[in-house]
């Protein structure tokens, strides 16, 4: 994909790169919300500590993700 940029005029290459960056930001937001909602559903029956241990992340990260599910 990035090889394509080398063959394009600089303005087209830059526009294409910015479009790809924006697309991936939007996709990351979708997945971030999905992750947050899944953790929130799990939180209804499990402790934050249990979720963090199973995922191999800190409890602070779980709390951060859960805050995202509220917004």
> CA 6 → CA 2, 13, 16, 27, 35, distances in Å?
7, 8, 12, 25, 36
Q: Is the pLDDT of residue 71 over 80?
A: no
Give the pair of three-digit tokens for residue 3.
């090889």
Give the pair of three-digit tokens for residue 59.
């409890």
What beta strand segments (E) does the chain contain? Answer: none
Q: What tens digit of pLDDT does each residue of 4-45 get?
A: 889 999 999 999 999 999 999 999 999 999 999 999 999 999
Entry pTM: 0.76
**pLDDT reported for residue 3:** 79
| Domain extent listing, the chain | 2-70
């Amino acid at each position: 994909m990035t090889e394509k940029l080398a063959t394009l005029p600089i303005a087209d290459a830059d526009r294409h790169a910015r479009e790809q960056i924006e697309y991936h930001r939007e996709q990351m937001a979708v997945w971030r919300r999905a992750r947050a909602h899944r953790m929130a559903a799990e939180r209804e029956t499990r402790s934050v500590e249990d979720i963090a241990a199973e995922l191999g992340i800190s409890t602070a990260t779980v709390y951060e993700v859960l805050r995202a599910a509220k917004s």
